[in-house]
Structure 1
């Protein structure tokens, strides 16, 4: 079988299993997904599923990616709300928190759970088959979305804030890491019911903390130019 035919077959089998996984998640939730349930729904054996997916965590990751469509569809709108990169980035956080706290288990699978391999490799595999999921996004945003390392994704976007004179280059990596830790901390707190937050309160509080963190590294003489209200 030629390489091209193998890729076509692989894409076809992925669709069978991911369609089935999506149905199981819709009906029972991502935490109740098993290889057997997915294989049965797809009309294949569990051993066939393992021919295409290394383990359950990978299949859950790929299926969970399908549930981020609403976030990706809204992201360009949020990224255009501000008048500079810092404002746009904060609005992108607003969009991300809105959707991630609405579907915490889904976003935990993608950005928090142990996958047993580098997430970047899984993301590359996913978008090789489902590249059309990104075609409606500007090229610049496609590049950012394709970066699964969340802090690196943030750093890629806020680099422009350095050019605009809002943030110093030395602070880029730090602010990207800190804001990621804020989101992860709040997500784990929310999912484990450690605070009595509604999903809206958890999202709003995360955005507030991200904004406070970001404003602390914005050059003092430029802070009045950042107008962001979630």
Structure 2
């Protein structure tokens, strides 16, 4: 393997480890370039050789938490018989993990990144390919940072299998995303707990889904 690649991966891992420690100790909102550089025992200028900005570093750090979700997905989908089952199970898995670390998931899917986040994510998986699973098309979904595009991955299969009309696919996707974002913010604010958030999100998604099913 290329020595420059290994050096880049090793050094970036130092910074990601440091940022992860700060997130666990102080919360994601308290991560700064200086704190991360100090904890990793580098200077800030070196950090900028590997990350374009703080958002870039936080996204790479947050991606570690996606790994647990990604590796859990096949278990959730084990007994799914069709696209409709897969759609529901993917949402259940996503909610279970997202509401456990709400600020992390908000940083991944809703933070206003100035550059192309999909390129960041593709680069992340080039560095850490062991974290990208291959299971029934799910690897493609994991490469999408845009939550609307991720949602359409499973909804498109529901259309193909005749559960949802093509003209209703965007409606279902947008409703699910808006519900998730709104409840995620409530969890971050502490107005509802994790279990309530999962139950409420899944209830509303199923109500929306049932209203759009082809009878």
TM-score over 0.5 (shorter chain): yes
Contact 1:79 1:89 (C-alpha < 8 Å) held by counterparts? no
1:180 aligns with 2:181: no
Deviations 1:166-210 (A, max 9, x none): 1112222221122111101111233234xx422110121011111
Structure 1 residue 5: deviation in Å? 4.1
CA distance in 1, matches of 2:150, 2:178: 14
**Unaligned 5+ residue runs, structure 1?**
221-230
Shift, 1:28, TM fit: 2.0
Task: Give the C-alpha shift of residue 145 in structure 1.
Answer: 0.9
The equivalent of 1:208 in structure 2 is 203
Contact 2:186 2:192 survives alignment (8 Å): no
Tell me how far 1:108 sits from its aligned partner: 0.8
Of 47, 51, 54, the residue aligned with 2:52 is 54
2:117 to 116, 119, 129: 119
Q: C-alpha distance in 2, partners of 1:81/1:172?
A: 24
What are structure 2's unaligned runs of at least 5 residues? none
State whether residues 62 and 108 of structure 2, in contact with CA within 8 Å, keep that contact through their aligned partners in structure 1.
yes
Contact 2:98 2:105 in 1 (8 A): yes
CA distance in 2: counterparts of 1:50 and 1:210, whole angstroms: 41
Rounded Cα–Cα distance in structure 1 between residues aligned with 2:77 and 2:136: 13
- Counterpart secondary structure, 1:61: helix
- SS state at 2:74 partner: helix
Distance, in Å, in 2 between the alignment partners of 1:68 and 1:152 is 16
SS of the aligned residue for 1:115 comes to coil
Partner of 1:158: 155
* 1:132 Cα deviation from its structure 2 partner: 0.8
Give the Cα–Cα distance (whole angstroms) in 2 for the partners of residues 88 and 139 of structure 1.
11
